[in-house]
Amino acid sequence: MSELAIEREIDRSKMQVSDEVAIEITNMNKWYGSFHVLRDINLTVNQGERIVIAGPSGSGKSTLIRCLNALEEHQQGKIVVDGTELSNDLKNIDKIRSEVGMVFQHFNLFPHLSILENCTLAPIWVRKTPKKEAEERAMHFLEKVKIPEQADKYPGQLSGGQQQRVAIARSLCMMPRIMLFDEPTSALDPEMIKEVLDTMIELAEEGMTMLCVTHEMGFARQVANRVIFMDAGQIVEQNEPEEFFNNPKSERTKLFLSQILGH
Partner 1 sequence: MTTLTDPPKEQFRLSMLLYDTRYRSATIQVIALIGFMLLAAWIISNTIQNLEALGKPVEFGFFGESASYDINQRLLEYSSQDSHLRAAFIGLLNTLVVAVLGCITATIVGVLVGVLRLSNNWLVARIMTVYVEMFRNVPVLLWIVLAMAILIEGLPAPNAFRGDNPTATMDLFNSVAVTNRGVYIPEFLFSRSLGDIHLFGTSSIRFDVSLDLIAFLIVLGGSIFTMRKVSAWAAAKQEATGDRPKIWHIQLGILFVPMIILLAALGFHLGYPELKGFNFKGGTHMRNSLIALWLALSLYTAAFIAEIVRAGILAISKGQSEAAAALGLRPGRIMRLVILPQALRVIIPPMISNYLNLTKNSSLAIAVGYMDITGTLGGITMNQTGRELECVLLLMLVYLCISLSISAVMNWYNNRVKLVER
Partner 2 sequence: MSDVSFVRTEMLPEQAPPASEVGAIGWIRHNLFSGWFNSILTLISLYAIYYVLSGVLPWVFQSVWNANSLNECREIMMATWGSTHGHACWAVINDRWLQLLFGFYPSHLYWRPIVALLLLLVALAPVLYSDRVPTKMLIFSAIYPFLMVWLMWGGTIWGPISAALGFVVGWGVYTLVSKQLSGLFGIILGVLASVVWWLVISSYFASAMASIIPIGIEAVQSRQFGGFMLAILLGVVAIGVSLPIGIVLALGRQSDLLIVKYLCVGFIEFIRGVPLITLLFVASLLLNLFLPPGTNFDIILRVMIMMTLFSAAYMAEVIRGGLAALPRGQYEGADSLGLNYWQAQRLIIMPQALKISIPGIVSTFIGIFKDTTLVSIIGLFDVIGLASAIRADTAWNGIYWELFAFIAALFFVVCFSMSRYSMYLERKLQTGHR
- Interface residues toward partner 1, by CB under 8 A: 27, 40, 73, 78, 87-91, 93
Q: How far is the CB of 3 from partner 2 (least distance, A)?
A: 28
**C-alpha 108, offset from chain centre:** 14
User: What residue 32 binds from partner 1, partner 2, none (CB within 5 to 8 A, per partner kind)?
Assistant: none
Total of chain residues touching partner 2, rule CB under 8 A: 28
* Cα–Cα dist 255/169, whole Å: 36
The window from 46-54, 155-163, 228-236, 251-259 that contacts partner 2 (CB under 8 A) reads 155-163
* Cα–Cα dist 107/168, whole Å: 9
Among 1, 12, 89, 110, binds partner 2 (CB under 8 A): 110
Q: What's the start-to-end Cα distance of the chain, in Å?
A: 9
* Cα–Cα dist 225/212, whole Å: 12
Return the number of the residue (64 or 235) whose C-beta is nearest partner 2. 64
* Cα–Cα dist 170/115, whole Å: 9
Near partner 2 in 59-98, by CB under 8 A: 69-71, 94, 97-98
Q: How far is the CB of 240 from partner 2 (least distance, A)?
A: 29
Q: How far is the CB of 90 from partner 1 (least distance, A)?
A: 5
Return the number of the residue (93 or 260) whose C-beta is nearest partner 2. 93
Q: How far is the CB of 24 from partner 1 (least distance, A)?
A: 14
Return the number of the residue (78 or 249) whose C-beta is nearest partner 1. 78
Among 14, 78, 112, 254, binds partner 2 (CB under 8 A): 112
Cα–Cα distances (Å) from 91 to 7, 16, 24, 28, 142, in that order, read 44, 31, 19, 21, 30
Near partner 2 in 166-195, by CB under 8 A: 170-171, 174
* Cα–Cα dist 188/3, whole Å: 15
User: What residue 12 binds from partner 1, partner 2, none (CB within 5 to 8 A, per partner kind)?
Assistant: none
Cα–Cα distances (Å) from 199 to 73, 80, 142, in that order, read 30, 28, 11
The window from 122-130, 193-201, 204-212, 253-261 that contacts partner 2 (CB under 8 A) reads 122-130
Host H or E run for residue 223: helix 217-223
Near partner 2 in 31-50, by CB under 8 A: none
* CA quadruple 186, 190, 196, 198: dihedral sign: positive
* Cα–Cα dist 213/65, whole Å: 8
Please report whether residue 104 would count as binding partner 2 according to CB under 8 A. Answer: yes
Torsion of CA 40, 45, 50, 55, to 10 degrees: 0
Return the number of the residue (18 or 87) whose C-beta is nearest partner 1. 87
Query: Residue numbers of the site for partner 2 (CB under 8 A)?
Result: 69-71, 94, 97-98, 100-102, 104, 106-112, 121-122, 125-126, 154-157, 170-171, 174
